[in-house]
Amino acid sequence: MSAVAVHGVGTSHFGRQPGRDLIALAEDAVREAFADAGVTDVDAVWVGTVFGPAGVAQRVLRALGVTGIPVITVENACASGTTAFLEAHEAVRTGRYGRVLALGLEQMSTAFAGAITPEPTDPEGRSGLALPALYAMAAARYLHLGAVTPEQLAAVSVKNHAHALHNPRAQYSGRYTVEEVLGSRMIADPLTVLQCCPTSDGAAAAVLAPAGRGSRGVGVRGIALRTGAPWNHRSPHVWGHDVVRDTAADAYAAAGLAAAGDVDLAEVHDAFTIGEIVTTEALGLVPAGDGGEAAAAGVTALGGAHPVNPSGGLLSRGHPLGATGLAQVAEVVWQLRGEAGGRQVEGARLGLVETMGGGVSVLDGNACVVAVLEAP
């Protein structure tokens, strides 16, 4: 067994890019990752995508000259990219391959005009329950319990859009007020458009190999994957909370961490503002019921005690499903190397990545991946 490090990362720009196909997006990410790692080839590739056509992995890699090696495509909803990252990590850790590429890619702008179409074979999908509505139900529950206020929900959007001002690859950025966020177009009550991630296209990649090969390698301290357990009206927490909590516990144990407070920054799955609040609580970054207050008080902002989503998160960077997890990995790698520019978390040594995807009836999320990365 080998300790594993990320030796190179790369991404495309994120945004609506219907004029650029998946090959062009993947080329941006892979070429940058290879150059960053100082390599020209790998022994195997894992590719995460949700809506890519059959054979998309081989198609984009053929265009890049990456052929004749094992290529495996994985789909795990929004956690597809981080699932590819986890599998690439395991392939290196166990000695199956010496150097592996993890690639995530998605082109959403040509597939959907609005929210992702619900799956009609699920009862909720048949009734038209799209993901914005599912997250809105969680927000309504928090509001009902007094665990968050509308202003605290909006504070997450204010924070992440401000963080993205320093991220040239992000789809959106800006200095908004809480009032502007709450006054933007309603999507799924109580979530307004500025509280929802945008439709986005993009790709992201990482090159993994045994640790110790070069001084820039960011170590994978611990990583875990879970699928959600059965969840219904009797569950004490909102949808998605428990699978994040349990996956994080596995990752912390693998990393030898006593608690989430040991990490210096986190990139989490903030597809909607309530998602970041629930996730920071489930990860243990803040106490239960304090997620909204922490966002409003600056605890999770740059310069705060627990910086969350310095990249701008999904709300600002965009959410091309298969690419999102590896975009989060790339951000944490840049942070741990001190290469994040105006959004740099000073002195960062440990960074956390959390991606959770869902939508399958009865389950508390399709999949969740949590990884802890360590500075060189």
Which long-range contacts link 347-350 to residues 24+ away (Cβ below 8 Å)? Answer: 347/264, 348/264, 348/265, 348/375, 349/264, 349/374, 349/375, 350/221, 350/257, 350/262, 350/263, 350/264, 350/374, 350/375
Q: Quick one: which of 278, 217, 284, 275 has its CA closest to 250?
A: 284
Q: Are 69 and 42 in contact (CB under 8 A)?
A: yes
Task: List, in order, residues 6 or more apart from 105 with CB less than 8 Å away.
Answer: 22, 25, 26, 29, 47, 48, 49, 52, 56, 60, 202, 203, 204, 320, 322, 323
Q: Catalytic residue among 78, 196, 197, 368, which?
A: 78
DSSP code per residue over 185-243? PEEETTEEGGGBPPP-EEEEEEEEEETTSSTTPEEEEEEEEEPPPB--TT-SS-TTHHH
13 is catalytic: no
319 is catalytic: yes
Q: Quick one: which of 299, 223, 181, 154 has its CA closest to 5?
A: 223
Q: Catalytic residue among 7, 269, 319, 368, which?
A: 319
Residues designated as active site? 78, 319
